[in-house]
Each structure stands twice: as C-alpha cells, then as structure tokens.
Structure 1
Amino acid sequence: MALVVYWYDFICFGIVGVAVFGSLYVLWRKEGAGKCNERTNYESLLVARPDRDCYAYAGVTPRGHVSSSQLWTSCWRGLHPLWLLALRLLSCTVLGGFLAWDILDYDASIFIYYTEWTFTLVVLYFAIGTIVSAHGCMLYYSTKPPSSDNGERDVEQSISTNAVTFTPKEIRASSIKLQSHYDQEAVLQRAGFWGYLMQTAYQTCAGAVILTDLVFWCIIVPFLTIAHFKLNMLMGCMHTLNAVFLLLDTSVNSLPFPWFRLSYFVLWSCCYVIFQWVIHACGFSWWPYPFLELSTPWAPLWYLCLSVVHIPCYGLYSLLVRAKYSIFSRLFPQAFVRPY
C-alpha cells in the first residue's frame, strides 16, 4: 500500500468531503427537490417536475432554466444554426484528434492527469453539442414559426368578421404579437436530459479549462521541474486549443451561465482527487501533481487553496460571459440578441 495516512491528511479528507456535500446541497436546492421559485415552470436535471406543480408566467424564467432552443441557436441575429453546428463539429474533430494523438503517444495511463480528464470532457461537450445542433437544424427546417403573411391573413379575417377597420400599422403589430407568442413558447420549452447534460458539461468545462491552463502555464511550466514533464507541441496545443474553441463557442451560443453550477465544476475536481486517493491506496506511488501529495504537513493548506481557487476560475469565465452580453449588445445592438 503506497498511501500512508497521517493525522493532517484527515483535514484534507474533510475539505474534499465538505466540498462534495456542499455542492450536492446547492444542486439539490437549485436543480433538485427544491421548490419551484420565481413562479415559473421548471424541470430539474435531477428530478422532473410536472407542469401542473407550478405556473408559468410570461417573460419570467428561473435563473437555471435551459430552453431547448438555447442549445442550438446563436446569440447573433441572422446567424444560421448550421454555422454553430459546423463550429462544434470542427471543434470536436480537432480536439478529438489531439486527444487520440495524446493517447497514442503515452497510452491510456495519460488519464492520470487532470488535463486529460478536462480535455476529454471538452471533447464530450462538443460531441453532444454537435448532435444537439444537428437535431436543432432538423427542427429549424421542419417547424417554422407563424409567418407575417399568416398573421396578416388572420387579422384580415378578423376584420371582415367584425367589420372593424385597422390600419396597416395595427396589422403589423398583430403579426409581431403572434411571432412574440411563438418565441415565448419556444423559450419556455424546457430542455430534456441530454440538453441539461450538455449545459452541465459546458459550465464544468468552463471552470476546468481555466483552472487547467492557468495551473499549467503559470505554475507548472515556469516553476516546477518534474522528471515526467517535458513541454512539447502536443502539450502546448492541448493547453491552448481547449480554451480557444470553448471561447469561440461561447461567443456565438445562447447558453445561460448561472453561478450555482459552479457546484458541478467542484464535484468534477473532487472526483479527480478521490480517483488519485484510490489509485494510491491500491499501490500507485507517484503523484502527477506535487500539490496533491498527502505526505507533506502542508497538504491541508494546499487542498484548501485548491478548493478556493475554483471560485475565481469559474468567476473569470462567468465574467467573460457577462462581458459578452454587455459589450456586444452595445456595439452591435441590431445584430446581437441577449438570450436571457
């Protein structure tokens, strides 16, 4: 048994345990068995809620709500869903190729690193996103919203029935109201399991990519000299392209980014740490990251710092999303659409 437990290691166990149960509690309150708040219809990822349990009010949606249309539509007016599909397919193909290259060079044991966990999750996100976008494109061509002609025809029939005269401006307003009602129904249509899985992977990737790349470029490369570590083009690309493609997707997608899903990011990292504990308890002796070692008295401080650093990493990406809505909506008010 390679893992020797010291008294201060129980502090590390406690830090990870608090992080796990705290994250599960937040998810239970926000996406689980908590009450439907803000007076809206909401289906949880963990527990499906029937429509009759809550009431939907126009124009109001819960913070964590993900509509099915947000999964495959763009925040840019006039941008065809096929472009988002092409971006996700390209991202999945390129990143999947680098992941395959990495596995061929170092075999499956490379998954001992957090980088490969995160990189695989990013590939998985783009794979699910490609499938969802393809399905969305099929819906786009198969179902069309009520056109202006149909709206004007309905209004004209109402005019002839009630013998009331309307101006062309009023007719246009009626058709716009019909279109608005259609858009509202599309927004309130909740995403299913795979949609919420895609949303969860997206927000977990966001924090994990920031954490991985910052630790790699700011700590490991300049300060740590490890016998197993040698910077090459593959490693440089893997710690750069993951952020590049994810930011490109963020710049065009309509996915929400609520703060409470930081819990998924924390759970993801906790799973990796527990995985490290398990393989070391089974006889593995080498730690891929020195700050995860349990044999040093400084381990509790390292673990505490690692748990806290998840907040600024996730917050940085959340700040980028907020900047996207704030800056683009001001620079391109006619082209950019705020999805929520």
Structure 2
Amino acid sequence: MALVVYWYDFICFGIVVAAYIGSLWILWRKEGASRCDDNTIYESLLAAQADGDGFVRATHKAHVGSNQLWSSCWKGVHPGCLLLTRFLSFVAMAVFLSWDILDWDANKEGLAYWLRWQVPVCALIILVPTSLTSCLIKKAKAKPLFLDDLWTPCWRKLNPVWLLIYRAFAFLCLAFMFEAAVALDGAFAFYFYTQWTFTLVMVYFALGTVISAYGCWVYTKGHPSANGVRYEILKRYMEENIITNGMTYREKETKGNIKLQSHYVEEEIQQRAGFWGYLMQTVYQTCGGAVLLTDIVFWCVIVPFLSDAHLGLNTLIACMHTLNAVFLLLDTALNSLPFPWFRIAYFIQWSCLYCVFQWVIHACGFTWWPYPFLELDTPWAPLWYFVLALVHIPCYGLYVLIVEAKNSILPTLFPRAFIRSY
C-alpha cells in the first residue's frame, strides 16, 4: 500500500493549518483581553463575592458572569424552565445517539463491546496516571534551563559544530527510514506506537539541529559557551584562593565560596532558554523513556511471542527499533541537557494519548488492535494495562540512570575533557 499525494492535498492541508492557526490567534487575542482586572480567582456560581471591605465588584463587560450561565434573558421566566429545557434536550440527543450507534455498529464492535467490565477498569488505569501527571507538571519546580545547555557539548574540546553535524545526520537517517515506512504502509504506519515514538525522536533531532545551528552562529561571533565560562571561573578562583589559603579548613571554605560565586556569575551571564528550548528538553526526555519502552517491548515481547503478518521482523523494522535508541543515546553522550525525574509525566501522558487514540478509532469502527495486549475483550485486559503503566517507571528510570552514570563516571575517567552538565 503506497502513499499517493496529489497537489490538491497540499491545498486542503494548508486550509486546515491556516484555520487552526487563525483560530488560535483569535482565541489568544480575544480570550486574553477578556480577563478581569481584579484580583479575584474564582467567581461564585450563585452570587458575586464581596471583598475585604464588604464591596462587590462589578463584572467586567467582556467577562461572562456566573449568573448568565443559568438565568434566562426573558423577564419572569424562572431558571427552572431553562434547566428543564436543557435536561430534556440532553436526554433526547443521548437517546438518538445511542440508537445511531446500535444501528450502525451492530455487526462490529458495538455498544456491548464497550459495556464490558474491563473497559471502565482500563479507562480508570489510563485516567488516573493522566490526572496525577498533570498535577505533577503543574506543581513541579525544575532548575532553570540555560540556552547554552541546548547546543553546547559536555566535552570541553569538542566544537559545537560537531554536535550540529551529528544531529543533522541523525535527523536525515531517521527521515529516510520514516519515508520508507510511510511509502510502504501509508497512513496505516501511524497505527503503531513505534511510528509515534519514531516521529517524536525526529522532532527532537529537528529542533536540536535548528537550535545547534543558532548556537554555532553565536559561537562563531565570539560569545563564550557555558562550559568555557564555568571552567574559566572555577580556574580563576582556584588560582586566587589556593595561593592565599593554605589551611585545610580554609580550603574547604574556599571551595564552597567558589561554587557559590561561580553560580551567581553564571546566573548573570547566561541566557535562560525560551519556549523552544523547554520544548526541546521536554521532547528529549519524553523520547528517552519512549524509545526504551518501544524497543524493549518489541525485542523482548513482540518478536519472541507475538510476531505475525503485521508485526513481522524485516530490515526496516529492525533498524527503526534499534537506531532510534542508538541515535538518542549518542546524543546523550554528547549534549549538556539535564534529565530531571519529574518529566516522566510527559512520557506517561504521551503513552496515554496513544491509548486514547486507539480507543477512539476502534469506537469509530476499527476491529483490529495493533498490539494484542491492548485488546479489551479478554478478562486479562486490566492486568495488561496495569503492567504497561508500571513498565513506564523502569523504562524512564533506566534512562535517568544512564544520564546519571554519564555525569558520575565520565568526569572520573576524563577529568580534563568532560564537564558535568549539572
């Protein structure tokens, strides 16, 4: 099944993209302007809240008051009439929707399939991690990410151009395999979690290539890199303090002062990363757990036990389930990006998004599951989903250990060449 793209397809894609971007722009302009100017956080559903002085502030003209949500625009009409009208409308639409589902999907995975006891249990297994990780993302406080960390290698003598060349090479190799997979299977290729993860790795290397190119441009203009600044600061303070301090206690105190002073100097001279920098780091950490999950499940579960016509092993599939991790691990060995634990939340949400995608397309008529352990018509389905949820922790933890080992072992083996990233 080959992928055929006509010229008018690009016009359709352009219309959709333009409509999406235009709607986001309108929401940003209008919704941003409709926020109240007062300091209230929430508005009561029944009455406006009084402030500390006993006064009730008037609602901003562009802000929707809570009483407008349940009151009628007709004088003398009780709000209960509006409530009854809305409830009856909901019941009528729910009846017609259920009728349509039963009539259209009678010969496929109909309503009875989704009313099995396994479905709400598996849905709960998906919803609970999604909710918990959303709270974790909202409350987590990470260390600041600096712009230099995105493109500066962790090796002192390595020119940033080499990291740029490597990222561009990795992106081109992945793009070649991606094009081959899409040309072979068409849009059906995105039915698998492998393609989702593979695409995400490509996005990381694309972002890394662009940001590394910018970093190399800054580097050629003569601006010092973060590693060079750290090294020069530490060297200067060491030279100044070793000469003037000879006692052991004073040496320890001096080292503490060196770290504190160099930290403040770094804060002053380094530029914080912006949206694209944090996006690159988030995609990088999501890829770290996703590629290990994909490759471990493929080589340890699917190939030995679940191979079939759709999941068979060939050269392209073997390369896609190997080189994605190889390229990412090599980039980890070269870059200076931190790898905090809390961003496992994005990895979990990435997998939950794929599960929701599978459920939606099966609710729309698909009957074949890409992975047998995602099927819902078996009493073991909740156990499979629970195990898959737990597997995310060791997969992400393994990549965290790899990064920790890099920052712990390599400085000992190469003290003059390697610079600890954090």
Structure 2 residue 327 is the aligned partner of structure 1 residue 245: yes
Q: TM-score, normalised by structure 1?
A: 0.79
After superposition, the Cα gap between the structure-2 partners of 1:20 and 1:225, relative to the gap in structure 1 and judged at 3 Å, is same
**How much has 1:183 moved relative to structure 2?**
4.0
Take 1:180 and 1:16, find their aligned partners in 2: how far apart are those partners?
Answer: 42
Q: Distance in 2 between matches of 1:294 and 1:170?
A: 68
Pick which of 278-287 and 228-237 moved more: 228-237
* CA shift for structure 1 position 18: 0.4
Over the aligned positions, Cα root-mean-square deviation in angstroms equals 2.2
1:127 equivalent in structure 2: 206
Counterpart of 1:243, as a letter, is: A
**What 5-or-longer segments of structure 2 have no aligned partner?**
1-104, 226-238, 244-257
Match of 1:30 in 2: 140
Residue type matched to 1:88 in 2?
R
**1:14-93 matches, cutoff 5 A:** 14-30=124-140, 63-93=142-172
- C-alpha distance in 1 between matches for 2:163 and 2:352: 32
- The residue correspondences of 1:304-315 to structure 2 (distance < 5 A) are 304-315=386-397
Contact 1:68 1:186 in 2 (8 A): no
**Aligned partners of 1:219 and 1:185: how far apart in 2?**
50
- 178-187 or 90-99: which moved more? 178-187
Work out the CA distance in 1 between the residues paired with 2:169 and 2:267.
31
Does residue 203 (structure 1) correspond to residue 313 (structure 2)? The answer is no
- Paired with 2:263 and 2:346, the residues of 1 have a C-alpha distance of 34
| Structure 2 counterpart of 1:321 | 403
Runs of 5+ unmatched residues, structure 1: 32-62, 147-168
Q: C-alpha deviations, 1:240-277, integer Å up to 9, x for none?
A: 00011000000010000000000000000000000000
Distance 1:300 1:72 in 2: 43
One-letter amino acid matched to 1:11: V
Please report how far the alpha carbon of residue 227 of structure 1 lies from its aligned counterpart in structure 2 after TM superposition.
3.1
Higher relative contact order (CA 8 A, sep 6+): 1
Does the aligned pair in 1 maintain the 2:133–2:349 contact within 8 Å? yes
Paired positions, count:
284
Give the CA deviation at 1:224. Answer: 1.0
Larger Rg: 2
Paired amino acid for 2:126: V
C-alpha deviations, 1:195-244, integer Å up to 9, x for none?
01100000000000000000000000011132322210000000000011
The equivalences for 1:245-264 within 5 A come to 245-264=327-346
Q: Percent identity?
A: 55
Q: Secondary structure at the match of 1:286?
A: coil
Superposed, which structure 2 residues align to 1:212-231 within 5 Å? Answer: 212-231=294-313
**Equivalent residue for 2:195?**
116
Residue 185 of structure 2 corresponds to which residue in structure 1? Answer: 106
- SS in structure 2 opposite 1:25? helix
Give how far 1:122 is off.
0.2
Amino acid at match of 2:134: L
